Amino acid sequence: MGFKIIVVLLTVMVLALQYRLWFGNGGFAEYRALKRQQQALEAQVGKKTERNEALYAEVRDLKSGLAAIEERARRDLGMIKEGEHFFMVVRKP
């Protein structure tokens, strides 16, 4: 009789510990959720790092030479060089 009680108590304790391991605070389920959140944040950091590197490259280009400044002026402001001819083609709607 005493041995059966000990076995039952040990089984209940093991099940309680297993429940806590899988579903409790700091358990496996929470670990998986945090891992997914970490992966999402790492992806965001990767995208922002690429964007920052592109911006740094553009700043370097603008500081180093006139070609980048000229390209930006042509694209954003519609500027043309002296001696160039500008033709605007307008299509009917």
Rounded CA separation 62/68 (Å): 5
Q: Quick check: 68 and 61 in contact, CB under 8 A?
A: yes
pLDDT for 82 equals: 83
Residue environment code for 33-57, b if the CB has 16+ CB neighbours within 10 A, otherwise e? eeeeeeeeeeeeeeeeeeeeeeeee
pLDDT for residue 14: 87
Q: What is the pLDDT of residue 86?
A: 78
Domain ranges of the chain: 2-77
Per-residue pLDDT of the chain (93 residues; tens, 9 = 90+): 788 888 889 998 888 877 777 777 777 888 899 999 999 999 999 999 999 999 998 888 878 877 777 777 777 877 787 888 877 889 988
